[in-house]
Copies of this chain bind each other. A is one copy, B any other.
Amino acid sequence: MSDIKVGLIGYGNIGAGVVKLLQQNADVIRSKVGAGIALKRIADLDITSDRGVTVDPACLTTDVNAIFDDPEISVVIELMGGYEPAKTFVLKAIEKGKHIVTANKALLALHGDEIFAAAARKGVEVQFEASVGGGIPVLTSIKGNLAANRIDSVFGIMNGTCNYILTRMTQEGADFADMLAAAQKLGYAEPNPTFDIEGVDTAHKLAILVSLCFGTRIDFNSIYTEGISRISALDVKFASEFGYRIKLLAIGKLNNGQVEARVHPTMIPLQNPLAEVNGVFNAIRLHGDFVGPVMFYGRGAGQNPTASAIVGDLIGLSRSMMAGAGRRMAPLGFMDDQVATLPLKPMSEIVSKYMLRFSALDQPGVLSAISGALGRHGISIESMVQTSHQADDAAPVPIVIMTHEAREGAVQAALAEIDRFDVISQKTGFIRIEDNLE
């Protein structure tokens, strides 16, 4: 059987990982596909830098058209990242009738609709397992063996940088800034870490997960996204005292045809397996009406795990081609005409429990003023911790309140009112709590 011919656009760290995997495990791949998978052309503007792997120089090109115009190439791997020219190249490859494998979460989160529509018209597949959770085969599972379920929730710890920082803050009682610096020193955080620590990367992945789980388009810019930079050592300490870990959690829910999609620091009960996902590991947990809760855990990033997912997608496509199949599956697992545009619940209407951390002057009546304001907004208190008086009576003391379930809008209105009190010495901190992670 002749080889399946593949083109690669974007020869960076991940691209080199794909080359390495295709070389090192060529025998494994052949034993599963019944043919080889051959990387016929690799296009990049830089084709001279050493990537730590050796390829036939004749396969390298700075002209991406060498891939588009090669009729032997049936699959194009896009690993440029970013929106452009990645989008133009992907659309061009689709136009030429080639299947797409990509790890580009930003591209799919913002321009998935357009790309998927083009793929539908041309009858090609778009596979993107590497875009969420690195090597963890979660997207393939949602689209594949879990497809019989109505999925009603999905939760993910999907950013290694944030999880590494929060894990060390928890283990060492350290502050955010110090642990960010440590993560940068170790290469776990970028010199400019905004995309990771402010939750944008996680929101890209959530957009993809929500689309797959609920069969809906989603407007990426409407996803509420809050990062971990305002989490303090004190937050982590109080969360532990109440029996929780703080994680940057992606939350997707489907209730009565309305979608929730939000990314923010979240308190997770210690007994839940997600609370024990530490360091650079990722985990995704979902709930289906028949399967119940399912969790996937593994390395969410890195050259090798990402290459595993990309070549896994290639193997899937190759098997279908070898079996004579045309397009076996639409990009989201749902038939193209079955993808809906479900409404997104406004953030002010979501319901959650909260940990509220007030900095108040140690004066009589403070607690009654706070609880009165909460009560007026319909927020009831589950428990409270007020730490002992300070040596200096004028120093603010932390008051920590755990609420029962309340509407986000009510909580924000109550906090805005309370933060205007004279006795409140700094902006009140709040962290949402997710008790029911099924």
Contacts and interface: CB of A to CB of B under 8 A. Distances in A.
B135 A140 contact: no
A328 interface: yes
Contacts of A328: 319-320, 322-323, 325, 328
Contacts of A144: 137, 140, 144, 312, 315-316
Contact residues of A: prevailing secondary structure:
mixed
A102 interface: no
Interface stretch (A26-34, A183-191, A259-267): A26-34
A294 B290 contact: no
A24 B149 CA distance: 10
Contacts of A309: 145, 291
B148 A25 contact: yes
A32 B335 contact: yes
Interface string A255-298: 00000000000000000010011000000000011111111111
**Interface residues of A toward B: which range?**
35 or more
B289 A135 contact: no
B291 A21 contact: no
A333 interface: yes
Interface stretch (A38-46, A111-119, A299-307, A385-393): A299-307
B329 A326 contact: no
Interface of A: 17, 21, 24-25, 28-29, 31-34, 129, 135-137, 140-141, 144-150, 215, 273, 276-277, 288-299, 302, 304-305, 307-309, 311-316, 319-320, 322-329, 333-335, 338
